Amino acid sequence: MSRKIKILYTIPNFDTAGSGKVVYDLVKGLDKSIFAPEICVFHSKGAFFKEIEKLNIPIHVFQFTTEYKPYRTFFFRVWKISRFFKKHEFHLIHSWHWSSDFSEPMAAKLAGIPFVYTKKAMSWGNKPWIWRSQLSSKVIYINNDMGTQFFSKMKTKALQIALGVDTQEYKPRNKEVPEGLNIKKGDFVIVSIANLVPVKGIEDLLLAVKQLNDENIKTFIVGNNENDYGQDLIQNYQDQNICFLGKRTDIRPYLAMADLFVIPTKNEGRKEGMPVAPLEAMAMGIPVIGSRISGITDILSHYPNNLFEAGNSDEIKSKILEIRSLNSNERLSLKKSIRKNVEDHFSLNLFIAAHEKFYLNLKTKPSVE
């Protein structure tokens, strides 16, 4: 009888949901009659790690990368990692590490195990990314621009698999107002969900809302705001119509209350690879507008009029007014359209099926015993 394909998923931690939730969904959804997933992390801290434990699969706490210096001991340290991989007889290693580290794929190669990594963000430009890619058996990238900007010379090695969301977990529901929020009938509710760091461009959205100066437009920012940037935003923008809600474990009630979701990421720094929060909003039938940058253009490829120039508050203001001006029939049609778009192109089922096909095509399946 055939053995199952033993896949090790490596990720530094589960401190936040983020990529961890993507790995969680993938591991949970794999066909367990064919695949035997395991997970390796640097440490077991973080609230979301408890969710990972509920998957009831083997979890390894092990340092699966190593520093390059001192150079004289680098190979020995990589060899020790390779022995860990070899000891557990993994058939494939799939890395979700954000870093350009190449010690991990080197260790996999020494162990004779195929290595794959998923490119999640638009960072590039240093030699370690090239070395990481060259040492990999295959590379998965998640948006169109990565294919042309990073992997145009690796077309036989790299392939695109878009991220997916659970369309059963995120689906249209009646508009709700979570307890304690000041929303009246007739208010137009804008929601943005992000961990508040400067590249997210939240101030561009808030400046646009301030300029609209409409007491019936209520804006809610959901996400960790306990850093300097978040506190500055609160000090400069919070009023009776702009509210910072902090981090929330379940974002669905806040999406359900929205008339519009805005993702105003700047076109600089460590930009989006493919943001999941706007996809979750679209799956719930919430209109989305976003910056015209990599990843967001993939999500809104069928809705180019919903894109605006990154950092342009005037354009954000215009797009808000366009969505607000839709009549009830136009709004209902848009809700149905964006929901179907997610089902057709960004569903979790498609995401999992694409990975299963990819793994099988790698010929990692063990021989019949």
| Contact predicate 133/157, CB 8 Å | yes
59: enclosing H helix or E strand: strand 59-61
Residue-wise pLDDT tens digits, 25-78: 999 999 999 999 999 999 999 878 999 999 999 999 999 999 999 999 999 999
Residue 107 CB neighbours (<10 A)? 26
pLDDT > 90: percent of the chain: 89
CA angle 21/143/42 to nearest 5° reads 35
d(CA 281, CA 172): 9
Dig out the tokens for 196 from the structure.
């508040």
pTM for this one?
Answer: 0.93
Name the DSSP class of 55: T
Spatial CA neighbour of 183 closest among 244, 234, 240, 255 = 240
DSSP per residue, 104-160 = HHHHHHHHT--EEEEE-SS---SHHHHHHHHHSSEEEE-SHHHHHHTSTT-TTTEEE
d(CA 275, CA 238): 25
What is the overall mean pLDDT for the chain? 94
Residues present in the chain in total: 369
d(CA 75, CA 63): 15
Question: Does the pLDDT value for residue 365 go beyond 70?
Answer: no
All structural domains of the chain, each given as residue ranges with its CATH number in brackets, are 5-164+347-361 (3.40.50.2000), 188-345 (3.40.50.2000)
d(CA 233, CA 244): 9
d(CA 253, CA 191): 11
| pLDDT score, position 198 | 94
Question: Does the pLDDT value for residue 19 go beyond 50?
Answer: yes
Averaged pLDDT for residues 304-333? 97
| pLDDT score, position 368 | 39
User: What distance lies between CA 288 and its chain's CA centroid?
Assistant: 16
Residue 206 CB neighbours (<10 A)? 24
d(CA 265, CA 199): 6
Residue pointed to by tokens 């778009």? 341
| Contact predicate 91/364, CB 8 Å | yes
| Contact predicate 97/104, CB 8 Å | yes
| pLDDT score, position 196 | 92
| pLDDT score, position 16 | 67
| pLDDT score, position 180 | 87
